[in-house]
């Protein structure tokens, strides 16, 4: 039987929770001061999608996103994308559009989910729900709201991407 392996890139401004999301999904852990210490380029998790085994390889950045210095190797061969912003960081929301263009430049059109993370901090939100919906519509992507901290909706993000990829 053919095994499907998917390279997934997680983009968005620094601090939105990308590394935490990978850690949460692949290792089931969450820490307040997660630094990139995994020492590898990606973590992986295998899931079953409609009876098919899919191996998801989630690629992390080492914080280079701050300096607009993510290497070509990071994007190379990516088949799906998580574009994340934070509920409590207006800049990260404003930057979503340019992240989408960057990924498109490097990878072409690949299945992408927009993720509004840190919904456990909704009381400190600086993005209203309608704006987020509008952004998703403008970029032609599904919007999912997650809390990596409380493990809300994280698995749905990757399940959605995997089935989108299998359907192509
Ligand atoms: P990255 O720079 O995008 O990789 O972000 P990190 O994964 O390093 O996370 C930045 C900070 O946000 C860390 O202190 C995380 O613990 C915290 N964080 C990540 N996800 C959540 C979340 O869903 N809720 C809350 N409250 N904090 C989060
Ligand atoms: Mg990180």
Q: Region 10-26: what's the mean pLDDT?
A: 94
Q: How many CA atoms lie within 13 A of 137 on its CB side?
A: 6
What does pLDDT average to over the chain?
A: 92
Q: Is the ipTM of this complex over 0.90?
A: yes
CA atoms within 13 A on the CB side of 35: 1
Residue 98's beta-bridge partner residues?
Answer: none
Question: Does the predicted model carry a pTM greater than 0.90?
Answer: yes
Residue 137 Cα, ligand 2 centroid: separation in angstroms?
Answer: 27
Q: What is the reported pLDDT for 69?
A: 72
What mean pLDDT comes out for the span 60-66?
75
| Residue 98 confidence class, pLDDT cut points 50, 70, 90 | very high
In this predicted structure, the answer to whether residue 156 has a pLDDT above a threshold of 90 is: yes
Q: What does DSSP say about strands 142-145 and 4-11: parallel, antiparallel, or unpaired?
A: unpaired
Instruction: Give the nearest ligand 1 atom to 146 CA.
Output: 23
- Residue 17 Cα, ligand 1 centroid: separation in angstroms? 4
């Amino acid at each position: 039987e053919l095994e499907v392996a998917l390279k997934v890139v997680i983009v968005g401004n620094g601090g939105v929770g990308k590394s935490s999301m990978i850690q949460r999904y692949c290792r089931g852990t969450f820490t307040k001061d997660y630094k990139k210490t995994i020492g590898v380029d990606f973590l992986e998790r295998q899931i079953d999608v409609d009876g098919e085994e899919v191996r998801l390889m989630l690629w992390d950045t080492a914080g280079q996103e701050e300096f607009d210095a993510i290497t070509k190797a990071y994007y190379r061969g990516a088949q799906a994308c998580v574009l994340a912003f934070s509920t409590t960081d207006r800049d990260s929301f404003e930057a979503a559009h340019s992240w989408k263009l960057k990924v498109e430049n490097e990878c072409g059109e690949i299945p992408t989910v927009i993720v509004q993370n840190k919904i456990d901090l909704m009381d400190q939100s600086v993005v209203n729900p309608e704006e987020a919906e509008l952004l998703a519509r403008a970029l032609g992507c599904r919007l999912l709201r997650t809390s990596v901290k409380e493990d809300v909706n994280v698995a749905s993000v990757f399940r959605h991407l995997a089935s989108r990829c299998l359907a192509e």
